[in-house]
Structure 1
């Protein structure tokens, strides 16, 4: 449950939000919802708009990443809730962006960072949350080992 529920929720929220953005905003248009700035951007590359035109290649990488997570879960069966949660966020985010890359050849971004240095989507944020949770899991494991060795 700590893996599948977050993965599916991230995927659904990500895809639904992108459908709404594509249906309501032309590429380049901006709206504000309170203090949240939304700008419709289509990224045919990867993070920070690097490697434009290689979206489908990155889709393959994302699919392999998700398959790697599923393989790990099937063979290692992690019991740590934090690890399962992290993997759920990572898999859901990677799958959300992979769908865009396969179907459209690019990823729909719209959430403008407060610093103004980037435009992301829910999948990107879920991947960031997954990485933070993975690091926290690692810290918890190190602390637990140190306490156990005393």
Structure 2
């Protein structure tokens, strides 16, 4: 259940934030909201603006990724809150960006940081990867001891 709750929350917050950015912030406009800098860009590539113009291909990759995660969750022995949280963040982020890529041919990004401008789905994917690394390390440690 934790997996689904996290995935749905990530997806809804991501899509809502992108919708609000598209409505209220012009492309390339930089605003400050509660002291947080936001810059609206549209990215037809992947993170960091690499491979511009391949958004729909990355959208298909996101769908495939979600299918693989659902398969792993159903058929593998990876169980527990940590891996469910990891997969929830990964799937919620993948669906959020995948929807944008398939429907619009680009992803709305608006959170500047070193290395580029990202969105909530990107940050959720980063959290999911971090939790996955922790899960792998903890599992390895348990097997060794």
- Tell me if both proteins adopt one fold, taking TM over 0.5 as the criterion: yes
For 1:67-146, what aligned pairs fall within 5 Å after superposition? Answer: 67-76=67-76, 78-113=78-113, 115=114, 117-146=115-144
Matched position secondary structure for 1:3: helix
Q: Distance in 2 between matches of 1:100 and 1:15?
A: 9
- Deviating beyond 2 angstroms after TM superposition, the runs of 4 or more aligned structure 1 residues are none
Q: Distance in 2 between matches of 1:87 and 1:23?
A: 30
Q: Unpaired segments of 5 or more residues in structure 1?
A: none
Counterpart position of 2:16 = 16
| TM-score normalised over the length of structure 1 | 0.93
Superposed displacement of residue 119, structure 1? 0.4
Superposed displacement of residue 42, structure 1? 0.2
Superposed displacement of residue 78, structure 1? 3.0
Q: Unpaired segments of 5 or more residues in structure 2?
A: none
For 1:26-41, what aligned pairs fall within 5 Å after superposition? Answer: 26-41=26-41
Superposed displacement of residue 118, structure 1? 0.9
Q: CA RMSD in A?
A: 1.0
Q: Distance in 2 between matches of 1:66 and 1:56?
A: 15
Bigger-Rg structure (1/2): 1
Matched position secondary structure for 1:142: helix
| TM-score normalised over the length of structure 2 | 0.96
